Amino acid sequence: MSDSSPSRRPMLPRSRDGGTTLRDNAAPDSRPAPARAPEPNRPGSGWALRGVRYVLPIVVTLAGLVVMSFGSDIDLEGGASLVSAGLAIYFINWLFRIGVTGDQEREREDAARDYFDEHGRWPS
């Protein structure tokens, strides 16, 4: 069973005729690799993002611990719920960052394949 979806590509560089090859016995290209553009400031790396990623989960978790410190059964259950909510906020943010990282890796792989198609060698 083969997966023919366009997002699944072979791991080897593609040749111009569509097959995969590593260009056996090819002389290394003496041209230097193109300079990479400097990464612009990542959008969303400001105070609001840090607040949602780190400050909000910490505040909610600490609020839960404070409520739990009152000691009655209802306070313990409510505080545990707040602690759980704070941890859930943190882990949802973490999972989102993992997903975005995968998208960025796919984009870099596609750019490397396009470079290979144009120049005939894999970028370093």
The answer to whether residue 88 scores a pLDDT higher than 50 is yes
Residue-wise pLDDT tens digits, 29-74: 555 555 554 455 666 568 888 888 899 999 999 999 999 999 888 9
pLDDT computed for residue 17 by the predictor:
53
Per-domain boundaries in the chain: 47-119
pLDDT computed for residue 24 by the predictor:
46
How far apart are alpha carbons 112 and 14 in whole angstroms?
Answer: 11
What's the CA dihedral at 108, 110, 114, 119 to 10 degrees? 50
How far apart are alpha carbons 17 and 15 in whole angstroms?
Answer: 5
pLDDT computed for residue 81 by the predictor:
96
Q: Which one is predicted more confidently, 88 or 27?
A: 88
Give which of 98, 114, 120 is closest to 53, Cα–Cα: 98
Per the listing, tokens 């144009």 go with: 118
